[in-house]
Structures are given as structure tokens and as C-alpha cells.
Amino acid sequence: MKGDADACTDFARDKQPGGSEAFVQPTRDARGDVARALLYMSHVYDLPLDGAIKNRDLLLAWHQTDPPDAKEIARERSIRKLQNTWNPLILPAP
């Protein structure tokens, strides 16, 4: 039977440099999506990031190195149409 980490293809198990402590992080092509979602929720709803990640700069780096793809942009446009809200990290304000 597959474990949870094997079943979820957007996350990868890794080890801390120089140590044996295992951690799970998004794959390279999912990092920007995760970063933009967390940063948006933190900003709009004033939610602390402490429970999700300790390094805000890491989220900003993920956002920069993995820009929104066509699927994320299409999802953003659908959300804007339904809710009249937007994530400026994906597309600029209308």
C-alpha cells in the first residue's frame, strides 16, 4: 500500500542538509502555487504564517522562481469572475 507521501505528487520528502531529520516540501513546479496561496491568505485574512512556514523569504523566493502557469492563471480568472476578488501575485488588479 502506498503511503501518503507517495500518493501526493505535489510534495516531496527530503532531508535537512547535514542531518537526518526528514521534512516534506512542495515539488519545484508546485512551490510558487503554494507560496502565492499562503502569502495571499496571510495578507488578506491577516493569518500568521508561523504554523505553515517559518521563513517568509523562502515563500517569496518560491514565488519568484516558479511564476504562475496557464492553469493557475485560468483558475485565478474564474475566481475573479465568481467572487470579484483577486490575488495580485498571480495577475495584477483589474
Residue from 55, 56, 2, 64 nearest 28 by CA: 64
Judged by DSSP in three states, 67 sits in coil
Over range 53-67, report the average pLDDT. Answer: 91
pTM (2 d.p.) = 0.74
pLDDT score recorded for residue 82: 96
pLDDT score recorded for residue 75: 95
Domain ranges of the chain: 4-83
Residue 35 amino acid letter: A
Q: With 60 as the cut, is the pLDDT of residue 2 above it?
A: no
Distances (CA, A) of 53 to 1, 34, 42, 56, 93: 30, 11, 11, 7, 27
- Report pLDDT digits (tens) over 11-58: 555 555 666 666 678 888 999 999 999 999 999 999 888 877 878 899
Which letter does DSSP use for residue 77 in this model?
H
Over range 1-6, report the average pLDDT. Answer: 46
Residue from 47, 54, 48 nearest 23 by CA: 54
